[in-house]
């Protein structure tokens, strides 16, 4: 497989931090300078052995191994990126009325404001809970932060009523318990609202709502690339137009 081609395809289909992308690029650059563009597991293992014999540090060799093996593992037998998991065509999405029912099912303002914030901003669970600070929320409800996963700057807006019921702690939604407990509590509210899904369903659904109102803008709302947004977040109904047809055939005979 070609190391440069694998790197380029990997970065198109995987949403990674800029620092992570730079790390993979450095690993490929070092490999290509020493061995050319073709790479496989056997060649990598032999090269790492050579580096050890040259006295290169364990940290240096381990870094190269981790970066290059990640690209190799993501590649198929023919040197192409394996098919990625895409958004199911029949995945359930929530509309605004569903989210209102979910908010009503929540037990207190802590949960009600969090669910509303997830819908209003499209921020992920890990970008809100135990992370978002009060000074990141302006008096008009505008929220500016960086995605913890990619480091990309994202801007959201809370509705006025959400500002009125925000917890008084800092971080705003201080949890302090296990994520398993968080998911269990959230699933309970989802069940009470007679819905199916997770906090990520809330994020997907908010993105779908934005896409329906503002075509080809949901990736900006999410802080993702357009490719990642279409592959993992949006329903097919928003991505396809009318069927394209060639010239009509006339029945022969």
Lookup result for tokens 């563009």: 37
155 plus 222 within the same structural domain: yes
Q: What is the largest CA-CA distance in the chain?
A: 80
Residues 107 and 189 in one domain: yes
Q: What percent of the chain has pLDDT over 90?
A: 47
Q: With 60 as the cut, is the pLDDT of residue 82 above it?
A: no
pLDDT band at 77 (very low <50, low <70, confident <90, very high): very low
Q: How confident is the model at residue 32 (pLDDT cuts 50, 70, 90)?
A: very high
Task: Give the ranges where 14-95 is alpha helix by DSSP (H).
Answer: 18-35, 41-53, 58-73
102 vs 20, 63, 175, 203, 215, CA distance in Å? Answer: 36, 45, 19, 14, 26
Q: What residues make up the domain containing 109? A: 96-238
Q: Which positions ≥6 away from 42 have C-beta within 8 Å? A: none
Output the CA–CA distances (angstroms, integers) from residue 57 to 42, 48, 54, 64, in the order listed: 21, 11, 9, 11
Residue 179 in any domain: the answer is: yes
> Is residue 104 domain-shared with residue 193, that is, in the same domain?
yes
Q: pLDDT tens digits, residue range 151-173?
A: 788 899 999 999 999 999 999 99
Q: Provide DSSP, 241-252.
A: -SPP--SPPPPP
Residues 149 and 216 reside in one and the same domain: yes
φ, ψ at 2 (rounded to 5°): -90, 120
Instruction: Provide the domain count of the chain.
Output: 2
- Do 35 and 117 fall into the same domain? no
Does the pLDDT value for residue 104 go beyond 60?
Answer: yes
Q: Is residue 104 part of a domain?
A: yes
Q: How confident is the model at residue 4 (pLDDT cuts 50, 70, 90)?
A: confident
Write phi, then psi, for 123 (nearest 5 degrees).
Answer: -70, 150
Q: For residue 6, what pLDDT band results from cuts at 50, 70 and 90?
A: confident
More confident call, 33 vs 17: 33
Task: Give domain status of residue 243, yes or no.
Answer: no
Tokens of 187: 């699933």
Rounded-to-integer distance, Cα 61 and Cα 56, Å: 7
Within a domain: residue 253?
Answer: no
Residue 76 has what pLDDT?
58
Residue 248 within a domain = no
CA 249/CA 175 separation, integer angstroms: 63
CATH number at residue 177: 1.10.443.10
Same domain flag for 146 and 221: yes
Higher pLDDT, 41 or 110: 110
- Together in a domain, 35 and 124: no
Q: Are 146 and 193 contained in the same domain?
A: yes
The pTM is what?
0.65
């Amino acid at each position: 497989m070609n190391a440069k081609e694998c790197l380029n395809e990997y970065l198109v289909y995987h949403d990674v931090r800029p620092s992570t992308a730079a790390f993979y690029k450095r690993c490929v650059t070092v490999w290509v300078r020493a061995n050319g563009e073709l790479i496989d597991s056997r060649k990598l293992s032999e090269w790492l052995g050579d580096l050890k014999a040259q006295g290169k540090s364990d940290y240096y060799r381990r870094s190269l191994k981790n970066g290059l093996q990640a690209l190799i593992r993501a590649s198929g037998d023919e040197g192409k990126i394996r098919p990625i998991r895409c958004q199911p065509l029949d995945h359930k999405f929530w509309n605004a009325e569903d989210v209102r029912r979910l908010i009503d099912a929540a037990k207190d303002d802590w949960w009600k404001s969090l669910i509303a914030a997830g819908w209003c901003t499209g921020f992920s669970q890990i970008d809100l809970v135990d992370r978002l600070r009060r000074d990141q929320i302006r008096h008009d409800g505008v929220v500016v932060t960086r995605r913890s996963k990619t480091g990309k700057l994202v801007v959201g807006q809370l509705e006025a009523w959400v500002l009125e019921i925000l917890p008084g702690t800092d971080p705003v939604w201080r949890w302090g318990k296990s994520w398993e407990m968080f998911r269990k509590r959230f699933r309970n509210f989802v069940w009470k609202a007679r819905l199916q899904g997770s906090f990520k369903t809330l994020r997907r659904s908010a993105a779908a709502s934005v896409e329906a109102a503002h075509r080809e803008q949901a990736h900006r709302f999410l802080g993702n690339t357009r490719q990642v947004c279409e592959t993992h977040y949006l329903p097919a109904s928003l991505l396809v137009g009318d069927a394209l047809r060639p010239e009509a055939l006339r029945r022969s005979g």
